């Protein structure tokens, strides 16, 4: 018994020490961030105080201070009072030493409050001695990876559970402690040893020791150089901004983040736990709320504006249900986003993804039914799924759910069938439902018919917030402008679109001819059957529904002409190399002045340089570019001073062809460009110095593709 007790105590001490060391390391990493934030908070607070009138000083002192002498002396803001010393204040007529001290102290208390509430954002264009330490400090936490929150929670749990047990079990570990302990103490020690052994077994099953060890190693890495930190920030800005929003308590207004739901419903949603055991991504506050809403209300529409992460919220809800014992889930989406769904599931969760699409659909369906996971199929093929009736579904997710609005279509009937088989149903759509009540009523009828019957056109007539309040049991929507503080300044989305049969045939012909330029635009060769064009149309329609302006870039004029025909709207442009500078500016001015949604077409080598396009908040790049500088400069046209919305950059890519090969080869060049061109005035004036030769790239890719396709 003594040896066994010693072994148990030794293992418990070891695990407890590892947990407490991780907690200390994590606190230190957080402390480093807050220390780096302090100067920026002070700076933001001082700027804020400069706009606060001195009348606010009366609020701090319950109106006891006379402010007339300050106003007569030209003081207008609290910042003016704070900048003056008490000695200078008492030199003013009508202000004695005591009043001067009180005035300065009141200004100081407002400054402290301003610092506590000051929001801080990372400005990629401001790489000075105040901003850079924040990025360096955040780098350590961001690069500790998605397992850090789990490791921290596990360390907290181990500390809380094992700490008291180790203390109670101490007499069992040495004969002299047993001798001097009271009988009741010895009995408790024996019980504690048993409880410790059980707890250690459970933690071993969860691989807790390995989880803690890896997290500690990551947190103890030395700080990287400023350049390396900034490069990493540019590659993963979303992760940095999300973490900063969490640590700096920077968030949107509570009601906006909660979609203006009634208070009692919002309280129930916030009380809902959200298990992250199968999730590998941190959520922003409003995203966590959205996932909880789906779990609490069970059958809902999540209508967040495009770019706010509806997919991640759906995955978070699924991960929670998986942790609670559900094993099978189904996602139905347009074919154009199926690959993106599979990729998001694989990178954002530890749940297996099963694409039910293409020739191997039958075997994939059998594997999913037998093993579980998340099946992803298209809305067009949903009706063909032959799933045994005894297969229980944990959640059914429909992306771009507005496609199921017409109950007479085969697609809508298939959606209705799966809704009946499932308790948890989540519809995703970026279309603002308050603008189309009949469509909303049709979708709700799939979920909760009794609620659909109560929806009236007059609900929408009262305004967006009134509509959302009226349909709160089934509908949650947040807009970018409401939750913008938690968003990165630029959201990059790679839209992976598999070749259609027609695309593939055109691509093979181009490869056989050794025509690199034809290979790059093969995805647009047959417009009526182009997968990329289908996705581009969807992006433009969704932007139109949300009143967003769109800029579409391509290297090729004929691709832009094809896009113009495909989107079916009066797009401005195209801006091309032969359009005189004055005319280019006229086109841009008309685009900027247009009310609401508008589309501008531009050749990337022409429209990507020298023009300000900050009216646009959606950028679509039709194909990857040979020179990394081209895409960077094109995005910079929209993401620049004066831009008030998050810029969404959608790059249309085809896996398995020239797009994928270009990206693989250019990846190393892009990193060099990040390290050199963005930090060198000379390099920015001559970006070709670090770009790969187009001829060399073309020869290499053509040869490799000819070999791969046997042409």
Could you read off the pLDDT of 544-564 as tens digits, one per residue? 988 889 999 999 999 999 999
Check residue 690 and give its pLDDT.
Answer: 38
Q: What's the pTM? A: 0.59
Residue 590 to residue 139: CA distance in whole angstroms: 42
Check residue 258 and give its pLDDT.
Answer: 79
Higher pLDDT pick, 260 / 517 = 517
Digit-coded pLDDT (tens) for 67-92: 888 888 888 888 898 888 888 898 88
Domain 488-709 falls in which CATH fold? Rossmann fold (3.40.50)
Check residue 487 and give its pLDDT.
Answer: 43
Check residue 65 and give its pLDDT.
Answer: 73
Residue 60 to residue 108: CA distance in whole angstroms: 10
Mean pLDDT, the chain, integer: 83
Judged against a pLDDT cut of 60, whether residue 478 lies above it is answered with yes
Same fold, 253-484 and 488-709: yes
pLDDT band at residue 281 under the 50/70/90 scheme: confident
Query: 253-484: which CATH number, 1.10.10.10, 3.40.50.10810, 3.40.50.150, 3.40.50.720?
Result: 3.40.50.10810
Residue 130 to residue 36: CA distance in whole angstroms: 8
Check residue 272 and give its pLDDT.
Answer: 95
Would you say 262 and 296 are in contact if contact means Cβ atoms under 8 Å apart? no
Contacts of 638 (CB under 8 A, 6+ apart): 551, 613, 614, 616, 617, 619, 647
How far the first Cα of the chain sits from its last, in Å, is: 74
Check residue 660 and give its pLDDT.
Answer: 87
pLDDT band at residue 166 under the 50/70/90 scheme: confident
Q: What is the mean pLDDT of residues 25-54?
A: 86
Please tell me the least confidently modeled range out of 232-246, 318-332, 571-585.
232-246
For the chain, which residues make up each domain, given as ranges?
1-250, 253-484, 488-709
Check residue 681 and give its pLDDT.
Answer: 36
Task: Order across the sheet with 618-621: list the strands.
Answer: 490-496, 647-653, 618-621, 549-554, 598-603, 572-575
Check residue 630 and give its pLDDT.
Answer: 77
Percent of the chain residues past pLDDT 90, beyond the cut: 33
pLDDT band at residue 678 under the 50/70/90 scheme: very low
Judged against a pLDDT cut of 80, whether residue 349 lies above it is answered with yes
Would you say 320 and 395 are in contact if contact means Cβ atoms under 8 Å apart? no
Would you say 347 and 502 are in contact if contact means Cβ atoms under 8 Å apart? no
Across 4-8, 175-179, 692-696, 702-706, the highest mean pLDDT is recorded for: 702-706
Check residue 662 and give its pLDDT.
Answer: 85
Please tell me the least confidently modeled range out of 36-40, 381-385, 598-602.
36-40
Q: What is the mean pLDDT of residues 559-572?
A: 89
pLDDT band at residue 57 under the 50/70/90 scheme: confident
Check residue 242 and give its pLDDT.
Answer: 75
Query: DSSP letter string over 568-592?
Result: -S--EEEE-TTS-HHHHHHHHHHHH
Higher pLDDT pick, 696 / 39 = 39
Digit-coded pLDDT (tens) for 414-446: 999 999 999 999 999 887 776 677 888 899 999
Contacts of 448 (CB under 8 A, 6+ apart): 299, 473, 474
């Amino acid at each position: 018994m003594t040896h066994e007790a010693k072994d148990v105590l030794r293992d418990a001490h070891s695990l407890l020490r590892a947990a407490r060391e991780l907690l200390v390391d994590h606190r230190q990493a957080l402390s480093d961030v807050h220390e780096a934030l302090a100067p920026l908070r002070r700076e933001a607070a001082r700027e804020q105080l400069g706009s606060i009138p001195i009348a606010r000083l009366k609020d701090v002192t319950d109106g006891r201070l006379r402010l007339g002498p300050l106003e007569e002396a030209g003081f207008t803001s609290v910042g003016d009072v704070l900048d003056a010393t008490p000695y200078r204040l008492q030199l003013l007529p009508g202000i004695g030493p005591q009043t001067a001290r009180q005035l300065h102290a009141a200004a100081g208390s407002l400054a402290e409050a301003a610092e506590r509430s000051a929001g801080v954002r990372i400005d990629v264009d401001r790489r000075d001695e105040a901003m850079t330490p924040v990025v360096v400090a955040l780098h350590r936490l961001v690069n500790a990876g998605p397992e850090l929150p789990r490791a921290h929670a596990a360390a907290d749990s181990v500390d809380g559970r094992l700490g008291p047990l180790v203390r109670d079990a101490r007499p069992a570990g040495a004969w002299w402690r047993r001798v001097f302990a009271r009988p009741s103490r010895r009995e408790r020690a024996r019980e504690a040893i048993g409880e410790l052994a059980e707890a250690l077994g459970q933690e071993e099953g969860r691989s807790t020791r390995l989880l803690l060890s890896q997290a500690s190693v990551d947190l103890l890495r030395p700080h990287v150089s400023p350049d390396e930190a900034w490069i990493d920030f540019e590659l993963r800005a979303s992760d940095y901004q999300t973490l900063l929003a969490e640590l700096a308590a920077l968030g949107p207004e509570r009601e906006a983040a909660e979609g203006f739901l009634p208070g009692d419903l919002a309280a129930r949603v916030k009380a809902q736990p959200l298990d992250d055991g199968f999730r590998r991504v941190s959520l922003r506050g409003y995203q966590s709320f959205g996932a909880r809403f789906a779990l609490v209300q069970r059958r809902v529409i999540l209508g967040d504006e495009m770019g706010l992460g509806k997919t991640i919220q759906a995955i978070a809800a699924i991960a929670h249900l998986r942790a609670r014992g559900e094993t099978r889930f189904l996602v139905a989406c347009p074919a154009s986003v199926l690959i993106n769904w599979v990729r998001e599931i694989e990178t954002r969760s530890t749940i297996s993804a099963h694409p039910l699409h293409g020739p191997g659909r039958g075997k994939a369906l059998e594997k999913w039914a037998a093993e579980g996971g998340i099946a992803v199929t298209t809305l067009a093929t949903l009706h063909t799924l032959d799933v045994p009736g005894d297969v229980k579904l944990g959640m059914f997710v429909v992306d771009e759910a507005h496609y199921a609005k017409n109950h007479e279509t085969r697609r809508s009937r298939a959606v209705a069938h799966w809704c009946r088989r499932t308790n948890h149903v989540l519809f995703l759509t970026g279309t603002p439902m308050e603008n189309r009540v009949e469509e909303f009523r049709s979708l709700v009828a799939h979920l909760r018919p009794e609620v659909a019957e109560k929806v009236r056109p007059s609900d929408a007539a009262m305004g967006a917030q009134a509509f959302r309040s009226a349909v709160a049991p089934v509908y949650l929507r947040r807009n970018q402008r409401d939750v913008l503080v938690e968003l990165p300044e630029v959201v990059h989305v790679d839209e992976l679109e598999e070749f259609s049969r027609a695309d593939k045939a055109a691509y093979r012909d181009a490869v056989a001819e050794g025509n690199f330029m034809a290979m790059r635009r093969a995805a647009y060769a047959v417009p009526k059957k182009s997968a990329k064009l289908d996705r581009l149309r969807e992006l433009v329609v969704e932007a139109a529904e949300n009143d967003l302006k769109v800029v579409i870039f391509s290297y090729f004029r004929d691709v832009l002409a094809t896009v113009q025909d495909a989107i079916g709207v009066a797009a401005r442009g195209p801006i091309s190399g032969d359009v005189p500078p004055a005319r280019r500016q006229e086109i841009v001015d008309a685009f900027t002045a247009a009310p609401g949604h508008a589309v501008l077409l531009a050749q990337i080598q022409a429209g990507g340089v020298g023009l300000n396009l900050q009216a646009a908040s959606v950028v679509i790049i039709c194909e990857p570019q040979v020179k990394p500088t081209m895409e960077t400069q094109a995005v910079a046209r929209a993401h620049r001073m004066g831009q008030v919305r998050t810029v969404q950059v959608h790059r249309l890519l085809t896996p398995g062809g020239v797009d994928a090969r270009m990206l693989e080869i250019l990846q190393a060049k892009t990193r060099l460009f990040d390290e050199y061109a963005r930090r060198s005035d000379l390099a920015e004036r001559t970006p070709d110095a670090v770009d790969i030769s187009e001829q060399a790239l073309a020869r290499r890719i053509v040869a490799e593709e000819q070999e791969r396709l046997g042409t």
